Structure formats: structure tokens, C-alpha cells
Chain A
Amino acid sequence: MNFELVGHLIRLRYKLLWARTRSRNGRIALFIVGYLIFVLVLVLLGAGGLGAALVAVESGKALLVARIVLASLFLEMMLATVIMGFGLNAMFSDAELRRYPVGAIDRRVTRHLVALIDPFWFLGFALEAGLVLGLYLLGAGFLGVGLIAVVLLFVTNYLAARVFGVLVDRMMQQKIGSLLLMAAIFLVALGAGQVPLLLKRDPAAAAQAVRFLRFTPPFGAAAAITRSGFEAASGVVVVLCWLVALAAALVALERRPAQRQKLPTTAISFDSFYDRVGARFGGEDGPLVAHWLRFYTRNTRFRTLGLLSLPILGFLAYTMGRPHGPFGKLHGPFDSLFVAALGVFPLVGFLAPARFTVNQFGYVGGGFRRYFLLPTDAAAALRTGNYASILTGASMIVLAAIAWTVLAPGPWDGRMLFMLMASGIAGLFLFHGLGLWTSILGPRRGNYNQALGNDASVAGNVVLIGGAFGCVLAPHFLARFAPAWVSPDRWWIAAIPVALTLLFYVFSLRAASALFRQRHEQLMAVVEGRG
């Protein structure tokens, strides 16, 4: 191992991060992120870790609480890494590192160290370390072995996230990968729903499950923190075994290059579905709409999310729409599933193209210049990209409406369907209106082929995450505090949000087009990686 070179390369990653702060916006972003991370570390270490330790001691169930905290954290970190891309986005690729005189092992170690030394992972470590410290201070844990266990757990957690991420990525590159992923999500979702029922029927199963779970990394670490002697040592050994196994699995996976789908040689065809759809928009905008439709639908993540969005959102509506669920009390006389579906329909049309809609030019790279060389109003590129996204979203709303008609329990009610469609259309206009602004004011250069991770800008994430939470929760609170808005008896009220969001959309389309013409040079610098 050439530790000196590896050290240089890790420092390079932070130098590159620091280089971003040369601009005013970069410095502000660094300040906010740095401050947030500092505060979060303190909160997690103090309130999270020490708090959990206090609960553990007071309840007299230190081992149980440690197991629950560590296992939840382990799963959260894994999912957040795969879905949001924390840590992974920071990695250098192997090809990038091949420029330097470092061997294969050094390159692998460098890549993973760079990803591991990511602020996001420190947050998880802060909570784990806080738990160890808290249990030690309250006399229910062992500091030395505990710290060793959580450090090993921290590395194991990262390796598990990487292995899982690589597996999902490989799966998505296959022709039937999206379908397999959908089936897997269904199985996990349905399985999770069955666990409480199973435990209710057979309480002995819980004890059996715990015996099995003892051999998982979080449970091993929990034993190492709260137990002494052989139990603690065996806990450390469990985590260590997982660490070695996952590291070996990751190396094996990375040594086997991904098998990309090889497209067959086909005859050149000019008359495609996209061109026919685009032609409906007239001679000026038609080719651009067809171009954007092609650009979106050829993307792996778009296609995967397109396939997954209805089942995922259907499951979300089912979970949030249980009469005896956490929101059931708010629904009063209304059909709980319907109220939940009202919140989910706005997302149906937005989930698949969301990444492109909030950052429309972030994935076109050097192609961005082309829009200004074409003999058309440059803002047509902005508008048509948005139209194409609306088209794909609208087709998803139609599918969702069909799914509701076929699958929803109870008698068919046209008023409900109208309200759901209106909710979906209002969401479509709202999100696409907001997407126009974030595409211009908060662009970020992204990788078109990146299947996993979150590469939206801060503004894009505010719209995506904030909008999703807002939409999903709003109908539940409306049912409680403004019931007229979710009542099928006043179904026509649903037209009001459609009208308002349409106005907002039309306004955004005009105003953002003007702004786009003004800011196109700054946008060009960002999407080409110069700003």
C-alpha cells in the first residue's frame, strides 16, 4: 500500500470540495452545510445517542434499546446511501484514479475511503458513538469494546450499503431489472406488513427471530456495547465476520464489470412514436418535444421510476389510508383510502420525470449549446422540455385513475375519481411550474446515466422532498380542519386548485422563459461543468 499517495488522493477530494467555495454561492452553501452538520452531530451525539442510552438504562433494557437503535440506523444509512447517493457521489471512479501511479488495491482503498469520509456517514457514527458514551456514563456499557464495535459497525454499514447499491445498479441495467426491483419492493413491503400479524399469532416466533438476528452486525455491536466477556467478544467477532464477508463481496462485484445491455443493430428509422407525438405541437416546437421525450424515456432511472411509481404510491396510499392508521383519526366521516389517495395523486405524474423536471438542463451537458444555435426562440427548449415532462406525467395520471377504478374497494364514485384526477392535474401544474424555476435558478450538473443517488440541487430537493411531504400530508389535515376540500359532496371544489395551479404554471412559463434568456450564459457554465 502506498499510503502517501492514497493520502494525497483523499486530500485531493477535499481540495476539490473546497474549490467549490471560491464562488459566493459556494461559500454560503459550505457555511450552511458545515453549520448543519456540526449542529446535527451535536444533536445526534447528545440528544440522540445519549438520550437513547438514558431510555435504555431507565427501562432496564439496555441490550434491547441498543439493538433497536443500531438496527434502525443501519437500515436507514443503507437506504439513504442507495436512494440519496450520500457518500457515493463523492467517490472517484476507478478510471479517474488510473491517471495516477497507484495500483489496483490502492485505487480501491482510496475510492472507498473517500466515500466513507463523507459528512453524512459521520452523522451516523455520531449517533452510534453517542449511544456507547451514554451507556458507559450511565454505567450500562463498556467504552473500549463498545467503541471498537461501533467503528467496525460503521465500516460494515458502509460496505453493506455499497454492496446493496452495486447489486441494485446492476439489476437496473438489465432488461427485466426494473420488473425484478418492483417485485422485490412488493415482497419487502408486503412482508413487512405481515410481520406484526405473524408475531401476534405466534409469539414464540419473535424469540426465534431474535436468535437469528443475533448474527447480524447491529445486534452483534449491541452485544459488544452492553455485555461483557464472551458475549461482548462474540458480538465483535460477528461484526468483524460481516465486515470481511462484505468487503470480499464488494471486491468480487467490482471485479466483475457490469454487463450493459447491448442494443442490436437496427435499421435506421425516422418515424418514431416520439416524432408523431411531437408533431402535435406544430412545426416549431414539435421536433423539440420529440427530442425531450426521447431524452427522458431513454433514461434508465426514468423508466424504472415510471414502472415503480404506481405500485410505490399505491402502497403509500394504502399505508396512510388505513382507518386505524396514524392519520385515520383525522379523517372523520371520509373514506380514509380516498383521503390518502388525494395526497398521492399529485405525485403520480411527477415521480418518474422529477429529476429532469427540477433540473431540466443538468443532464444535457455540451448539448445545451445546441438550443441556442437552432433557429428558434431559445426559451422554446425550456418550454418544450417541460411539456414533454407534463405529457409523461399526464399519462401516469390516466393509468393511476384506471388503477383506482379497478382496484379501489367500495362502490365506484365518479365524484371521487374527478377529485383524484383534479388533484393529480393540480400537482402536475404545480410541480412543473416550480420545476421551471429550479431549472433556471438552481441548476446542477448531473450524470444522465447515474441510476441511483440524488443529484438534484438544493432548490430541486426542496421542491422534490418538500413538495412530496406537503402533498401527501395536506389532505389528511384538510379532512380534519377544512373538510369541504376533501368531501365528495363538494367535488367541484377540486377544480379550484386546478385553476390556481394552471394560472401559476402559465405565469411561470412566461416569466421563466424571459429569465432563461437572461441567464443562459450562467446556466451554460453550470451544465458544462465550468461554474
Chain B
Amino acid sequence: MDAFRISNLVKKYGSVVAVDDLSLAVPSGSMFGFLGPNGSGKSTTIGCLTGLLDPTAGAIEILGQPFDTNSIGLKRRMGVMPETLGLFEPLYAHEFLAFVGRMFGLDEATTRTRVSELLQALELTDSSKTLAEYSTGMRKRVAFAAAVIHSPEILFLDEPFESIDPAGVALMKQWLRRFTAQGRTVFITSHVLETVERLCDAVAIITRPGKLVWQGDISVLARDGAIAFDGQEFRALEPLFLHLTGQRYADLNWL
């Protein structure tokens, strides 16, 4: 069964096409990487998938049900860590997480327990600082905690590991692996291809403007295998990505 399926998704901002006829199916229980160069439409696609943006055309089906911005029941089953984190900066971390927990229907006692546990695990116990006073990495941890607090079935993470220290990243990876081992789905965008290669089972690569150029299983790379494409063999994700998105050379002799 697919965790979600996108059919012919189009998103335009005026005359600018951000996502062009994108179709994608992500199987349940997978750790799925969504890759593309800057401005290729990754965040826009996640925006459409999570109810942040209204698609111009196309259909989205999540957990077997049609999804749009008003699909409140489905939103309750999803966890999202958006690109801009979506934090309310004057709040303290525990206030923010308790707010998110209550909005996702957790009862008061469960919310308190989970907030305390998440803060402890993610080392966010300094209660004298508001979110505005946190470092970028700490803010990212709070956004991650907000995405998982209600134990969702699908997790959408936009650049989750950027700015987080190695110990934090290791912890998050451990949680994500356990998450998918339970049959739940993780959809990640990242520019750190090594991380994606080690973490994900499958990836989709898009180019500007939001056009799918490759989708496939990459677990073979972890077993020292190779991916055959275009008559070439790729033993790592980076050369495949560069091949698909166009390698750029610019010789600046003053640099």
C-alpha cells in the first residue's frame, strides 16, 4: 500500500511554474528521500502535500484518502517539519510543544508527559529561553519534536538535519529508523546526499521546475552495489544526482 500518491501535480505562482505535472507514489513504511537542486520545487511539493499550499492542478491521496487543505482528519495523522520551522518565537519550547500536542488532540496528561520526554531527549531543558533566543540547531530540534509529538503515521521533514550537531542527528536518525520499522513513513528532503544515501530506501529526484527525472530504490548502494542508468553505473548518489540535474563548471581564474 502507498503512504501517499501524487498524480499530475501542478503548482503555479502567477505565470511561474513551481511544480510541473509531478506524479509520485511513496510506499508505506519507507524512508523516502526527495532530492533536487535549489528552487526545483521540493518545498512547494511538501507544501501541497501538507495543506500549506493549494495545488493548481492534480490530485493528492494520503493513506488511501483524497487530500486537500481542509482534510483535518488526515492532518491529524501527519507530522510536518516545514522549511521555515513554523515556530512562534515569543513562546518557550514547552509552551509551543504543549500547544501543538493539544491541537493534535492529545489529552493534557499525555501532552505533559510527551513534552517533558521530548525536551529531555533533545536536550532542550533550558526553560529560561524563548524560542527566539535558541540557536538555529535548537530551534530545529523543537520543530522536529513538534512534528513527532502526536506520533504520526507519515512524517514530512524538510531539511531536518541542517544545523543540528552530530549527536542530535544520530538521535533523530535512530528515531526515524524505529519509526519506519513500525510501518510508518518518512519523507525527507535534504541536500546532504551522503545522509540520504545511508538513511533512505528509495529516492525521487526532481529538477526545475518540479519535474521528476528519476525515482528508484537506492538500498543497493548500501550493499556496495550500483545503480544502472543511461548506460552508466553509479556507485553513489552524488554522481547520479549530478548526472540527472546537470553538473556545472565555472572556471573563475581569480578565485
- Could you tell me which A residues sit within 8 Å of B by CB distance? 262-268, 270, 272, 283, 286-288, 290-291, 294-295, 298-299, 364-370, 372-378, 448, 517, 521, 524, 528
A524 to B53, CA, bound (A): 10
**Identity of the chain A residue whose Cβ is nearest the Cβ of B93 in the assembled complex:** A268
Tell me which of B75, B88, B105 contacts A367 (CB under 8 A): B88
A375–B72 touching, CB < 8 Å: yes
Q: Is the CB of A290 within 8 A of B99?
A: yes
B170 at the A/B interface (Cβ < 8 Å)? no
Per-residue interface assignment for chain B, residues 65 to 100, with 1 indicating a CB less than 8 Å from any chain A CB and 0 otherwise: 000011011011000101011111111101100111
Contact assessment for B126 and A376 in the assembled complex, using a CB-CB cutoff below 8 Å: no
10 other A-B residue contacts (CB within 8 Å) besides A283-B105, A377-B72, A448-B90: A265-B127, A286-B102, A287-B99, A294-B90, A294-B91, A294-B95, A369-B86, A373-B82, A373-B86, A528-B84
Q: Are B69 and A270 in contact (CB under 8 A)?
A: no
A524 cross-chain contacts in B, Cβ below 8 A:
52
Contact of A448 among B50, B89, B119, B126 (CB under 8 A): B89
Q: Decide if A376 touches B128 in the complex (CB within 8 Å).
A: no
- Residue of B whose beta carbon sits closest to that of A518: B54
CB contact between A266 and one of B53, B102, B105, B127 (< 8 Å): that residue: B127
Which residue of A has the minimal Cβ distance to B150?
A375
B212 CB → nearest A CB, Å: 23
- Complex-state Cα separation, A270 to B114, whole angstroms: 12
Indicate if B235 sits at the interface (CB-CB under 8 A): no
Residues of chain B whose beta carbon lies under 8 Å from any beta carbon of chain A: 50-54, 69-70, 72-73, 75-76, 80, 82, 84-92, 94-95, 98-100, 102-105, 108, 111-112, 115-116, 119, 126-128
Inter-chain contacts of A286 with B (CB < 8 A): 102
In the assembled complex, the Cα of A295 lies from the Cα of B100 at a distance in Å of 15
Min CB distance A404 to B, Å, is 33
- Chain A residues positioned under 8 Å from B86 (CB to CB): 366-370, 373
Q: How far is the CA of A500 from the CA of B99 in the complex (A)?
A: 35
B105 touches A375 (CB 8 A): yes
* Bound CA span A224–B116, Å: 69
**Complex formed: what's the CA distance from A378 to B76 in Å?**
13
Distance in angstroms between the alpha carbons of A370 and B80 in the assembled complex: 9
Closest to A291 in B: B99
A376 touches B82 (CB 8 A): no
User: How far, in angstroms, from A294 to B92 measured CA to CA in the complex?
Assistant: 10
B115 engages A270 (CB within 8 Å): yes
Instruction: Give CA–CA (A286, B100) in the complex, Å.
Output: 12
Option from A270, A288, A367, A374 in Cβ contact (under 8 Å) with B98? A270
CB distance from A372 to the nearest CB of B (A): 5
**Contact between chains at B103 and A372 (CB < 8 Å):** no
Can you give 29 A-B contacts (C-beta < 8 A)? Answer: A264-B128, A266-B127, A266-B128, A267-B127, A270-B94, A270-B111, A270-B112, A270-B115, A286-B102, A287-B102, A291-B88, A294-B91, A295-B91, A366-B85, A366-B86, A367-B86, A367-B87, A367-B88, A367-B89, A368-B86, A369-B84, A369-B86, A373-B52, A373-B75, A373-B86, A375-B75, A376-B72, A448-B90, A521-B53
How far apart sit A365 and B127, CA to CA, in the bound complex (Å)? 22
A270-B98, A299-B90 as given contacts; A372 in contact with B73, CB under 8 Å: no
The residue that A270 contacts in the complex, of B50, B73, B76, B108, with Cβ under 8 A, is: B108
Contact A517 B69 (CB under 8 A): yes
Least Cβ–Cβ distance between B225 and chain A, in angstroms: 38
Chain B residues with CB under 8 Å of A291's CB are 88, 91, 99
Interchain CB contact under 8 A, A372 and B69:
yes
Q: Which residue of A lies closest to B85 (CB)?
A: A366
Which residues of B lie under 8 Å from residue A376 when comparing CB positions?
72, 103
Q: How far is the CA of A291 from the CA of B86 in the complex (A)?
A: 14
Q: Which of A264, A268, A364, A373 contacts B94 (CB 8 A)?
A: A268
Report yes or no: A374 in contact with B69, Cβ–Cβ below 8 A. no
Chain A residues within an 8 Å CB radius of B87 = 366-367, 370
Q: How far is the CA of A74 from the CA of B89 in the complex (A)?
A: 38
When distances are taken between beta carbons in the complex, the residues of chain A under 8 Å from B100 are 370, 374
- Nearest CB of chain B from residue A380's CB, rounded to whole Å: 10
In the complex, what residues of A have CB within 8 A of residue B119's CB? 268
Chain A: minimal CB distance from B110 (Å)? 12
Q: Is the CB of B69 within 8 A of A378?
A: yes
* Alpha-carbon distance A96/B94, docked complex (angstroms): 31
Contact A372 B51 (CB under 8 A): yes
Q: Are B54 and A365 closer than 8 Å at their CB atoms?
A: no
Which residues of A are found within 8 Å of B88, using beta-carbon distances?
291, 295, 364, 367, 370
Residues of A within 8 A of B69 (CB): 372, 378, 517
CB distance from A289 to the nearest CB of B (A): 11
Please give the distance in Å from A62's CB to the nearest CB on chain B: 54
Within 8 Å CB of A377, what residues of B?
A: 70, 72
Give chain B nearest CB distance to A271 CB in angstroms: 9
CB nearest neighbor in A for B126 = A265
CB distance from A360 to the nearest CB of B (A): 13
Nearest CB to that of B81 among chain A residues?
A373
- Partner of B76 from the list A265, A267, A375 (CB cut-off 8 Å) is A375
Nearest CB in chain B: distance from A81 CB, A? 26
On chain B, the residues within 8 Å of A517 by CB distance are 69
Taking the closest CB of chain B, its distance from the CB of A293, in whole angstroms, is 11
List of A residues within 8 angstroms of B91 by Cβ: 291, 294-295, 298
Output the nearest chain B residue to A263 by Cβ-Cβ distance: B128
Chain B's nearest CB lies how many Å from the CB of A39?
34
Taking CB atoms, residues of chain A closer than 8 Å to B92 are 268
List the A side residues contacting B99 at CB < 8 Å: 287, 290-291
What is the CB-to-nearest-CB distance from A318 to chain B, in angstroms, rounded to a whole number? 35
A369 to B82, Cβ gap below 8 A? yes
How far, in whole Å, are A265 and B80 apart by their CA atoms in the complex? 30
Which residues of the other chain, A, contact B126 by a CB distance below 8 angstroms?
265
Are A374 and B75 closer than 8 Å at their CB atoms?
yes
Q: Which residues of chain B have C-beta atoms less than 8 A from A448's C-beta?
A: 89-90
CB within 8 A of B103: which of A262, A266, A375? Answer: A375
User: Complex: how many Å from CA A270 to CA B99?
Assistant: 10
Q: How far is A264 from B102 in the complex, measured between Cα atoms in Å?
A: 26
Which residues of chain A are within 8 angstroms of B52 by Cβ–Cβ distance? Answer: 369, 372-373, 524
Return B149 CB to nearest CB of chain A, in Å: 12
Name the distance in Å between B158's Cβ and chain A's nearest Cβ: 10
Contact A287 B103 (CB under 8 A): yes
Contacting pair B73 A375 (CB below 8 A): yes
